[in-house]
Amino acid sequence: QKEVEQDPGPLSVPEGAIVSLNCTYSNSAFQYFMWYRQYSRKGPELLMYTYSSGNKEDGRFTAQVDKSSKYISLFIRDSQPSDSATYLCASMNRDDKIIFGKGTRLHILP
Amino acid sequence: DTGVSQDPRHKITKRGQNVTFRCDPISEHNRLYWYRQTLGQGPEFLTYFQNEAQLEKSRLLSDRFSAERPKGSFSTLEIQRTEQGDSAMYLCASSPPAGSSEQYFGPGTRLTVT
């Protein structure tokens, strides 16, 4: 079992819809949780960074972490075609070594 | 541009050749990381530096791989006797001094071994 599991998709939704991306993790020692966005042939871009459980909102993006169920979510409101990318969820304990999921490919249909 | 930069962006080499990649972190970031990403996978940790000290190396980093950060600024990753299985995107990330664990990635170097 990989430490961070993520459905690779692809996930296609119409423009303007709310997108829900999810992943699970297995290592209880993870304390930091991240979402990165990666466009084709580009490096990952940090979108959201949270410590421990709870919600964090930044513009159209909301990240949720539930440590009791080891579940990480990212919600995108009012989705735009420019949101089409691969979204990588990631976790880390205090050793600075990020463990990534495989990424979910998202297509926003105009 | 004050982000992480990597050079070259693309490298095509023949099997058995040596290649070297360079990473320039964000100014004043003292931690620097190397990851490798293959198609359809998330990045995988290779190694990391705090200042000039290499603190951890993944089991993925075989003896053919070596990384340096001699003055605690830029870093190089060298692969000797390249194999086709080394074909991947090599990503560098940097992180500010202790207090924040956020890692910011560069654009990557895409290596193709023929």
Q: Does A50 touch chain B (CB under 8 A)?
A: no
Contact state of A97 with B45 under an 8 Å Cβ cutoff? yes
Q: Where is pLDDT greater, at B96 or B36? A: B36
CA atoms of B43 and B39, how far apart (whole Å): 10
Torsion of CA B44, B45, B46, B48, to 10 degrees: 160
Nearest partner of B104 among B74, B81, B95, B63, judged by Cα? B95
Q: What is the pLDDT of residue A1?
A: 67
Q: Which residues in chain B are closer than 8 Å to A34, comparing Cβ atoms?
A: 102
Contact state of A92 with B44 under an 8 Å Cβ cutoff? no
Which helix (H) or strand (E) covers residue B70, if one does? none
* CB pairs < 8 Å spanning A and B: 56
**A44 vs B45, B48, B105: nearest CB:** B105
Q: How far is CA B94 from CA A47, B2, B4, B106, in A?
A: 15, 12, 7, 8
pLDDT (tens, 9 = 90+) of chain A, 110 residues, equals 679 999 888 999 999 999 999 999 999 989 999 999 999 989 999 999 998 888 999 999 999 999 999 999 999 999 999 999 999 999 998 778 899 999 999 999 99
Q: b/e map of B12-43 (b: 16 or more CB within 10 Å)? A: ebeeeeebebebbbbeebbbbbbbbbeeebbb
pLDDT at residue B99 greater than cutoff 80: no
Structure tokens at A2: 């990989």
CA atoms of B106 and B94, how far apart (whole Å): 8
Structure tokens at A70: 């080891």
pLDDT at residue B1 greater than cutoff 60: no
In chain A, which among 54-83 make CB contacts under 8 A with chain B? Answer: none
Alpha carbon A37 to its chain centroid, in Å, reads: 8
pLDDT over 90, % of chain B: 85
CA atoms of B76 and A4, how far apart (whole Å): 29
Q: What is the pLDDT of residue B54?
A: 93
DSSP string, B3-58: S-EEE-SEEEE-TT--EEEEEEPPTT--EEEEEEE-TTS--EEEEEEETTEEEEE-
Please give the DSSP secondary-structure letter assigned to residue A55: E
Question: Which amino acid is located at A18 in the chain?
Answer: I
Q: What is the CA radius of gyration of chain B?
A: 13
Determine the length of chain A: 110
Residue where the block lists tokens 């209880």: A28
Q: What is the pLDDT of residue B26?
A: 94
